[in-house]
Structure 1
Amino acid sequence: MRLLLAVVIIFSAITQGHALEISASLLYKVTSGKQATPADVVIESADTAGIYDAFNGSYTIYRNGSAVSSVKKEFLKGGNCFVKNGNYYLYCNNKGNSLDMLSPKFEVYSSAKLAVFDPTDVAVSGGYAYVADNDNHRIVKIDLAEAKEAASAGKYGKERLQFWYPYAVAFNQAGHLLVSEVLNTRIQKITKELKFYEFIGGWGINQGQFYRPTGIALKGDKLLVADGYTGLIQYFDKDGKFAGVLTDTNGKKLKFGSVTHIRVTGSTLAVVDAFEKTVFIFQLKEKN
Structure 2
Amino acid sequence: MKIKLWILICAFLFSCSSEKEWTFSEKIELPEDVRPLGLTLKGDQFWISDPDNNRILQINNHGQVLDSLTNLNRPMHIASNGEIVYIPNFTSDTIATFENEELRSIQIGDSLDAPASIAMLDKTMAIADFYNHRVLLIEDDKIIKIGSEGRTDGLLYYPTDVALTKDRVVVADAYNNRVQVFDRNGQFIKVIGWQENIKVATGVEVYEKEIFVTDFYGNRVLTYNFEGVLLDTFTNHFNKPTDVLIFNEEMYVANYGENTVTIFSK
More deviation, 89-98/262-271? 262-271
Deviations 1:21-46 (A, max 9, x none): 73233255133324x43222224567
Which residue is equivalent to 2:51?
Answer: 54
Deviations 1:226-261 (A, max 9, x none): 100110111112322011213xxxxxx434121112
1:237 corresponds to 2:225 = yes
Give 1:104 deviation, angstroms.
3.4
CA RMSD of aligned residues (A): 2.5
Give 1:214 deviation, angstroms.
1.5
Give 1:195 deviation, angstroms.
0.9
- d(CA) in 2 for partners of 1:223 and 1:110? 29
Native 8 Å contact 2:205 2:244 kept in 1: yes
Which residue is equivalent to 2:91?
Answer: 95
Which residue is equivalent to 2:156?
Answer: 163
1:67 corresponds to 2:67 = no
Give the structure-1-normalised TM-score: 0.77
More deviation, 179-188/92-101? 92-101
Letter in 1 for 2:49: Y
Which residue is equivalent to 1:5?
Answer: none
Which residue is equivalent to 1:189?
Answer: 181
Which residue is equivalent to 1:78?
Answer: 74
Native 8 Å contact 1:43 1:270 kept in 2: no
Equivalent residue in structure 1 for 2:247, among 237, 259, 265: 265
Equivalent residue in structure 1 for 2:144, among 151, 154, 166: 151
* 1:2-151 equivalences in 2 (<5 Å): 22-34=21-33, 36-44=34-42, 48-67=45-64, 69-74=66-71, 76-108=72-104, 110-112=106-108, 114-143=110-139, 145=140, 150-151=143-144
SS, match of residue 156 in structure 2 = coil
Native 8 Å contact 1:155 1:163 kept in 2: yes
SS, match of residue 258 in structure 2 = coil
More deviation, 126-135/37-46? 37-46
SS, match of residue 155 in structure 1 = coil
Structure 1 stretches lacking a partner, 5+ long:
1-17, 247-252
Deviations 1:171-193 (A, max 9, x none): 34x62111111221111100111
- d(CA) in 1 for partners of 2:48 and 2:182? 29
SS, match of residue 39 in structure 1 = coil
Identity of aligned residues (%): 18
Letter in 1 for 2:170: L
More deviation, 55-64/254-263? 55-64
Give 1:283 deviation, angstroms.
4.3
Give the structure-2-normalised TM-score: 0.82
